[in-house]
């Protein structure tokens, strides 16, 4: 028997195709991870390919871990020798080895979004920038985009030299790069940019090409331009490149993902073999039929249709709610009803378009004492107390890290004010040394005796902790750190009763260290920090704990749930703004997002929308999402019929013209067509004659002269 006998026909074809370029178009829930892992096991166990010659790349630690475990369960310890990694983890490994070629030490720090903003805030202060529109978050996002597009500060400045704001951003970008380099630090974009720079060095590239002769990429539709270049460089010599993805699940355009990478794969590799995985093992037929009906409206969708051997299943529950609170009540009533019928809380997931939509649901769940957890809002590793401890560990690992040292130099309080810190920083700049090294020369800086004592004790403790980090375990270092700085007492004094819950978070951090130490033979501090820095929003998801899950649709990708509530499905929320709805590419990405949301559901799917809700502090009237209109009526429950009847055109419009007559007169509008009015927003044409059109808006009907219509309304797309 072959390992591949457990795969279906198309999966088996994909797993057996080893030589040359291969594109596996894998629909949602079609067993792509199973196919990839069996393919790796088959290559090693039956074909005899060395596991060291195989590289498999994916996007999250969770996905990489699952793939590794599956391969090991199939072929044992040989599976451990294959590199199965995220793009960023692969880049970090490479940079730890070859980073000196680019001027980095191997213990460089990886800066997250908060760290980036701190660096930028300092630079804006140096430049005396007063424009409130130039926020740290906006500039950080712009810099990341520029890096991933391969645009240097100089190129950016030349391109936009007549715009003063661009000059500021360019100068910040330039200083930001210098600051990170001086701190021996990289942000997430740097990891990819620097990985590509290493691959531009022929000697390193050839070594890696010969090492990894068989390359697999999961979720290929999510690759950005740099990841695309990295993969193509690595695969250029042997061309044994297998990419797996689904163009219908390309939903990260805002992060730089380029759907053309998967759509144009055959152009890049003209002799590529294409295999489609269309049998879905996750959802009922009704749910899949709805997903297929929605996504077929995208021009970018390939000829791929999900099907299943499962039963038809329940119809999709569509609910029209009066307002946001009515929507929450509906969801809670259904959860309570299903719970009484025998389901667990962990069966339910509430999906929404933006994190801001979670607040009302949180209030409702708390009111009814229903356990829940939000994924993708405030993540565990972003909490202040966790960031403090990680900042200490980062400085112990990399003493050049001024960003994290600045965070902790006065935590707990050591009476170190801004002026004192400025003195030390100025001294470090004059001497050309790091901030940490300046703490070893306090006698030369001209500080008050009390400040010298406080900073001297801090420096001595940090030196002791650095010594422990070289020989002791990370958990041992952690304990010495907490006791050495008196961190628990600090939390209790600062937060009072809330201090205990924050201490629990710190203890949970210790648990994460101990768990990792059990998994690896020797966990170094550098490896631990690297692991933490690459954690994603849903890596903390625990499938065993009994709570309702709340998350954005983006964060749900790759996951599956028995019962899904898709809430807030209204135009200008989902899909987003009027601007989004008028841009075909952006609208198609929103539709792919809807497809992802629908296909997360295994057994039951609820879709709800409100007639009105508070947005940005104001009450606004809503219209249901156009994506709901794309789901065939026979797949929806009775609620849909009531909605259709309620929203059908009212009789009585004077001189109403029948459809065939409209076509005969060649009028520019048609009944049922959606439009966008400059003042009244979204509407639907419900009546028309040779002089006027009647439009149903959310707050009522209006008549507009046909001759003036083009000035006020835009045809929807």
What residues are labeled active site? 32-33, 218-219, 249, 600
324 labelled as ligand-binding?
Answer: no
Using CB atoms within 10 A of its CB, is residue 272 exposed (0-12), middle (13-18) or buried (19+)?
A: middle
33 labelled as ligand-binding?
Answer: yes
Please choose, from the candidates 608, 518, 509, the residue with its C-alpha nearest in 3D space to the C-alpha of residue 568: 608
**Three-state SS at 507:** helix
**Taking the CA atoms of the chain, what radius of gyration do you get in angstroms?**
29
Sign of CA dihedral 264, 247, 72, 11: negative
**CB-based contact 584:290 (threshold 8 Å):** no
Pair of tokens at residue 640: 């849909």
Using CB atoms within 10 A of its CB, is residue 518 exposed (0-12), middle (13-18) or buried (19+)?
A: exposed
Pair of tokens at residue 701: 């009907």
Q: What is the DSSP string of 656-694?
A: ---HHHHHHHT-S--TT-EEEETTTEEEEEEEE-SSEEE
Helix axes 87-98, 525-533, angle to 10 degrees: 150
**CB-based contact 294:591 (threshold 8 Å):** yes
106 labelled as ligand-binding?
Answer: no
**CB-based contact 398:405 (threshold 8 Å):** no
27 labelled as ligand-binding?
Answer: yes
432 labelled as ligand-binding?
Answer: no
Please choose, from the candidates 208, 177, 182, the residue with its C-alpha nearest in 3D space to the C-alpha of residue 108: 182
Q: How many CB atoms lie within 10 A of CB 1?
A: 5
Helix axes 384-397, 525-533, angle to 10 degrees: 140
28 labelled as ligand-binding?
Answer: yes
Separation between Cα atoms, residue 301 and residue 296, nearest integer Å: 7
- Cα distances (angstroms) measured from residue 73 to each of 18, 66, 174: 21, 11, 48
26 labelled as ligand-binding?
Answer: yes
Pairing outcome for strands 681-688 and 674-677 = antiparallel
Separation between Cα atoms, residue 504 and residue 491, nearest integer Å: 11
Separation between Cα atoms, residue 423 and residue 27, nearest integer Å: 59
Q: 163-183: string of b/e by CB count within 10 Å (b at 16+)?
A: eeebebbbbbbbbbbebbbeb
**CB-based contact 39:14 (threshold 8 Å):** yes
**CB-based contact 144:156 (threshold 8 Å):** no
- Cα distances (angstroms) measured from residue 677 to each of 89, 211, 614, 615: 49, 59, 21, 19
Tally the residues of the chain: 717
Q: Which residues does 326 contact at the CB level (< 8 Å), separation at least 6?
A: 610
Q: Which residues does 152 contact at the CB level (< 8 Å), separation at least 6?
A: none
Angle among Cα 257, 554, 256 to the nearest 5 degrees reads: 15
Pairing outcome for strands 548-552 and 317-321 = unpaired
H or E, element range at 243: strand 241-245
H or E, element range at 24: strand 22-26
Side-by-side strand order, sheet with 713-715: 700-705, 692-697, 681-688, 674-677, 713-715
533 labelled as ligand-binding?
Answer: no
Q: Phi and psi dihedrals of 659, rounded to 5?
A: -55, -45
- Cα distances (angstroms) measured from residue 587 to each of 253, 460, 717: 11, 58, 9
Separation between Cα atoms, residue 31 and residue 302, nearest integer Å: 19
Residues that constitute the known binding site for ATP: 26-33
* Binding positions: 26-33
């Amino acid at each position: 028997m072959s390992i591949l006998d457990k795969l279906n026909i198309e999966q088996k074809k994909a797993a057996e195709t080893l030589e040359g370029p291969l594109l596996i178009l894998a629909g949602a829930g079609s067993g792509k991870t199973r196919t990839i892992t069996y393919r790796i096991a088959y290559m090693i166990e039956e074909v005899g390919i060395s596991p060291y010659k195989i590289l498999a790349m994916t996007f999250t630690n969770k996905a990489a871990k699952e793939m590794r475990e599956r391969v090991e369960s199939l072929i044992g310890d040989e599976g451990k020798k294959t590199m199965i990694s995220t793009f960023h983890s692969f880049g970090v490994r490479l940079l730890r080895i070859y980073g000196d070629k680019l001027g980095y030490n191997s213990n460089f720090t990886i800066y997250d979004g908060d760290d980036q903003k701190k660096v930028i805030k300092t630079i804006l202060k140096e430049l005396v920038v007063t424009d409130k529109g130039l926020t740290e978050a906006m500039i950080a996002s712009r810099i990341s985009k520029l890096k991933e597009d391969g645009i240097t500060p100089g190129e950016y400045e030349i391109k936009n030299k007549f715009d003063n704001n661009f000059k500021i951003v360019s100068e910040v970008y330039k200083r930001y790069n210098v600051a990170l380099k001086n701190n021996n630090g990289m942000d997430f974009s740097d990891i990819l940019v620097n990985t590509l720079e290493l691959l531009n060095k022929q000697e390193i590239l050839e070594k890696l090409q010969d090492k990894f002769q068989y390359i697999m990429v999961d979720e290929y539709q999510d690759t950005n331009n740099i990841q695309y270049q990295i993969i193509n460089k690595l695969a250029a010599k042997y061309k044994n490149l297998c990419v797996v993805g689904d163009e219908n699940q390309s939903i990260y355009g805002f992060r730089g993902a380029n759907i053309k990478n998967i759509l144009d794969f055959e152009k890049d590799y003209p002799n590529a073999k294409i295999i489609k995985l269309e049998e879905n093992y996750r959802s009922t037929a009704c749910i899949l039929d709805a997903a297929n009906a929605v996504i077929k409206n995208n021009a970018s969708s390939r000829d791929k249709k999900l099907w299943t051997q499962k039963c038809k299943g329940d119809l999709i529950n569509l609910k029209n709610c009066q307002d946001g609170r009515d929507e929450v009540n509906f969801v809670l009533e259904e959860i309570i009803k299903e719970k009484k019928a025998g389901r667990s809380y962990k069966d339910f997931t509430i999906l929404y378009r933006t994190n801001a939509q979670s607040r009302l649901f949180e209030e409702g769940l708390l009111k009814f004492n229903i356990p829940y957890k939000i994924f993708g809002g405030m993540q565990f590793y972003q909490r202040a107390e966790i960031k403090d401890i990680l900042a200490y560990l980062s400085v112990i690992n990399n003493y050049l890290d001024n960003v994290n040292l600045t965070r902790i130099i006065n935590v707990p309080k050591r009476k170190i004010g801004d002026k004192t810190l400025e003195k030390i920083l100025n001294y470090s700049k004059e001497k050309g040394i790091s901030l940490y090294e300046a703490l070893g020369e306090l006698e030369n800086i001209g500080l008050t005796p009390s400040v010298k004592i406080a900073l001297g004790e801090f420096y001595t403790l940090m030196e002791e902790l650095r010594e422990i980090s070289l020989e002791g375990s990370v958990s041992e270092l952690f304990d010495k750190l907490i006791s050495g700085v008196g961190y628990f007492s600090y939390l209790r004094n600062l937060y009072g009763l809330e201090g205990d819950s924050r201490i629990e978070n710190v203890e949970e951090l210790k648990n994460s260290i101990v768990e990792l130490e059990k998994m690896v033979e020797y966990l170094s501090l550098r490896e631990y920090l690297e692991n933490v820095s690459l954690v994603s929003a849903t890596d903390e998801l625990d499938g065993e704990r009994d709570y309702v899950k709340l998350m954005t649709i983006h964060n749900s990708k790759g996951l599956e749930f028995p019962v899904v509530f898709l809430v807030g499905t209204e135009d200008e929320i989902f899909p987003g703004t009027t601007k989004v709805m008028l841009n075909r590419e952006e609208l198609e990405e929103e539709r792919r997002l809807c497809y992802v949301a629908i296909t997360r559901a295994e057994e039951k799917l609820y879709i709800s929308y409100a007639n009105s809700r508070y947005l940005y502090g104001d009450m606004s009237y809503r219209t249901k999402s156009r994506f709901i209109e794309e789901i065939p009526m026979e797949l929806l429950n009775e609620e849909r019929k009531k909605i259709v009847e309620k929203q059908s055109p009212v009789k009585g419009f004077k001189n109403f013209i029948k459809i065939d007559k409209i076509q005969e007169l060649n009028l520019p509008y048609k009944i049922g067509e959606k439009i966008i009015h400059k003042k009244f927003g979204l509407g639907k044409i419900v009546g028309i004659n040779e002089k006027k059109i009647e439009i149903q808006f959310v707050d009522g009907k209006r008549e507009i002269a046909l001759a003036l219509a083009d000035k006020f309304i835009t045809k929807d797309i």
